[in-house]
Structure 1
Amino acid sequence: MSSTELPFVPPANMLPKVAPVRVAEGERLRSVGLPGITLSVRSRPPAREGLPPALYVHGLGGSSQNWSALMEQLDDTVDGEAVDLPGFGDSPPPDDADYSITGHARAVIRFLDASARGPVHLVGNSLGGAVSTRVAAVRPDLVRTLTLVSPALPEIRVQRSAVPTGLLAVPGVAGLFTRFTKEWTAEQRVRGVTALCYGDPGRVTPEGFRHAVEEMDRRLQLPYFWDAMTRSARGLVNAYTLGGQHALWRQAERVLAPTLLVYGGRDQLVGFRMAQKAARAFRDSRLLTLPEAGHVAMMEYPETVAAAFRDLLKDTAASDGGAATSSTGSRSSTAGQGS
């Protein structure tokens, strides 16, 4: 395949019938058609009218379901929506097969522009953290605050446990992996993902594990699943090599929105040592470190992340009202986690 040739991806009406995406009690799922993309959007009705809008952006291989626990915690604080990035969750591939960080950021911007809900409290995890950083840098008018959970920002020394994920970006590796793992069950795959992403896999409930297996089974039936994974991984690796104004760390420095950074001490994909660098890069930041958390703190410790998010909104509102709060520098805290 040449560098300009796009893979054939069947249109939505030609895709095989697969099981429907799970929608938790109290949630809604809708499809939003935009130029070049169709996005699936998950929402939970707010506890009352007039709450400020929030948008959640998932990581590589994830979906809007990754935010269900946090959305429920915050339904009395924000009017939240979670988007399935193109090619993930229940969103079909983008028409142009662009899975770069810029392509995903463009999808988020198109959705925010079309919904006219901005500026929003933007929340991103992993790949979604890199995407959200770019959105906040290039369209500050759309972002009121920024919350990043283990954002996938460039690291000089990548953790050994993160190397296999990065190798997905290498041409041919995904094909080899799929052939090597063709006999793996959905349950085996979920156990592997859980062990990689959670600080303590034991925190996953039997019900949560069953739902994850059902979702994995559904995704493996999609003809574009591995293409979306591979191209998004490649887009992330390519973003790490960009210099100048498009460099992610340079864009982090341009973010004007008050920023909450959440890092897990047991994260096997994003180095915990990057927490302090991120706190210095984002000009108006606060840092929450969770020693027992892994890569998806919002799923492991939703109550703790929700409390830090509420504090961010409270301080931002006080600053808007003229309270004497600092607009520069960073604050950090380490939270203990209970059951």
Structure 2
Amino acid sequence: MSSSVASIRSVSSSPSSISSIASAGSGEPVVLLHSGGMSSRQWRRLMDRLAAGYRVLAPDFIGSGDNPPWPQGEPFHFDMDVAAVEAIVRDLARPIHLVGHSYGGFIAATLARKNPDIIRSLTLFDPVAMGVLHDAEDPEGLANLGTVDGEDAFNDPALGGGDAWMEQFVDYWNGPGSWRALPATTRDAFLRVGKKVFYEVTTLLRDRTPCAAYGGVKAPALLLTGESSPIAARRVVHLLSESLPDATAHTIAGAGHMAPITHAGAVNDLIVQHIERAAGAA
């Protein structure tokens, strides 16, 4: 990471807690949550931009990044990541600007609906809050989601997180051939956390949180998606933008699900503008 970003490690080494947090700057806190299989490093360019005026924290999720690996054979539920991030946020003892991508967007949305009083602003890129598709009985979104969730092999713990499973997962989000096109070192990095990602995915796919549950989040929300993101992701963004009381939706032209990395400039411009508007209105 850049020299302006410091790494904080807490005294806890429990695999069910977060002990690795990148931090930069000072001021109102901004918390950045990364996508599944990635780490806080995905946000380093955004951290550099925000550090001039904000205290920016980017934790690695449980079993991800520089945290201890998730123990083999141990079950995991996304609620554990929610609780771990919530502990960090509560320690800040003031409202936060919360940003999340994909799995991180889902954790951010869940944290916000459970703790609306601590959210100054909310930004979500393709949050995988798939429960809203079921609640709305959204035909397009559910049909698209079924192309992976309907596969028995995709839900098989014996295969979950392995090479074939990860190929199906990555190709769903990024298009056929995306997994095999990655450098071997990148595939190896995903496979090291593959089982944890499998648990993230299989537990969030069982989530049935309805659209109305997000109605209590009064803070201004920015909902982002890519023009080429999977249909299910785009439908989630649409449904959440209708459910959150103060929401704006925006599509990144020519981008897909990984736009926070592939189109970081355009995405970060929108995030920074959204945070600055919310901070200025406080």
CA distance in 2, matches of 1:88, 1:33: 17
CA positional deviation for 1:120: 1.5
CA positional deviation for 1:97: 5.1
Inter-CA distance 159–309: structure 2 relative to 1 (3 Å threshold)? same
Deviations 1:249-303 (A, max 9, x none): 2332121221111111101374323333221111111112113111122112222
Q: What is the letter of the counterpart of residue 279 of structure 1?
A: S
Deviations 1:31-85 (A, max 9, x none): 2245953324343533xxx432111112222221222232233333432121111
1:106 partnered with 2:119: no
CA positional deviation for 1:219: 5.3
1:236 partnered with 2:204: yes
CA distance in 2, matches of 1:74, 1:86: 24
Inter-CA distance 111–35: structure 2 relative to 1 (3 Å threshold)? farther
CA positional deviation for 1:310: 2.7
1:263 partnered with 2:234: no
Which position in structure 1 is the counterpart of 2:10? 32
Inter-CA distance 26–318: structure 2 relative to 1 (3 Å threshold)? closer
CA positional deviation for 1:238: 1.7
Inter-CA distance 40–283: structure 2 relative to 1 (3 Å threshold)? same
Greater Cα offset, 143-152 or 298-307:
298-307
CA positional deviation for 1:180: 6.5
Aligned-pair identity (%): 22
CA positional deviation for 1:94: 6.5
- Structure 1 contact 262–287 (Cα < 8 Å) conserved: yes
CA distance in 2, matches of 1:101, 1:63: 16
TM-score for both structures, normalised by structure 1: 0.66
- Structure 2 contact 86–111 (Cα < 8 Å) conserved: yes
Which runs of structure 2 are paired with 1:36-115 in the superposition (5 Å)? 37-46=16-25, 50-92=26-68, 99-114=76-91
Which structure has the greater CA radius of gyration?
A: 1
Q: Look up the SS of the partner of 1:38 in the other structure.
A: coil
Q: What is the letter of the counterpart of residue 255 of structure 1?
A: V
Greater Cα offset, 126-135 or 99-108:
99-108
Which runs of structure 2 are paired with 1:76-155 in the superposition (5 Å)? 76-92=52-68, 99-114=76-91, 116=92, 118-154=94-130, 155=133
Q: What is the letter of the counterpart of residue 34 of structure 2?
A: H
Q: Please, which of 236, 239, 249 is the counterpart of residue 211 of structure 2?
A: 249
Q: Look up the SS of the partner of 1:56 in the other structure.
A: strand
For structure 1, the residue ranges without an aligned partner over 5 or more in a row are 1-22, 183-188, 203-208, 242-246, 321-339
- Structure 2 contact 96–119 (Cα < 8 Å) conserved: yes
For structure 2, the residue ranges without an aligned partner over 5 or more in a row are none
Deviations 1:119-167 (A, max 9, x none): 2211111111111111111122332111101111222433647743775
- Structure 1 contact 38–94 (Cα < 8 Å) conserved: no
Inter-CA distance 137–79: structure 2 relative to 1 (3 Å threshold)? same
CA distance in 2, matches of 1:60, 1:165: 16
1:176 partnered with 2:159: yes
Inter-CA distance 196–44: structure 2 relative to 1 (3 Å threshold)? farther
Inter-CA distance 219–31: structure 2 relative to 1 (3 Å threshold)? farther
TM-score for both structures, normalised by structure 2: 0.78
Q: Look up the SS of the partner of 1:273 in the other structure.
A: helix
Which runs of structure 2 are paired with 1:10-21 in the superposition (5 Å)? none
CA distance in 1, matches of 2:153, 2:206: 9
Inter-CA distance 125–178: structure 2 relative to 1 (3 Å threshold)? closer
CA positional deviation for 1:214: 3.6
Which runs of structure 2 are paired with 1:287-306 in the superposition (5 Å)? 287-306=249-268
Inter-CA distance 97–84: structure 2 relative to 1 (3 Å threshold)? farther
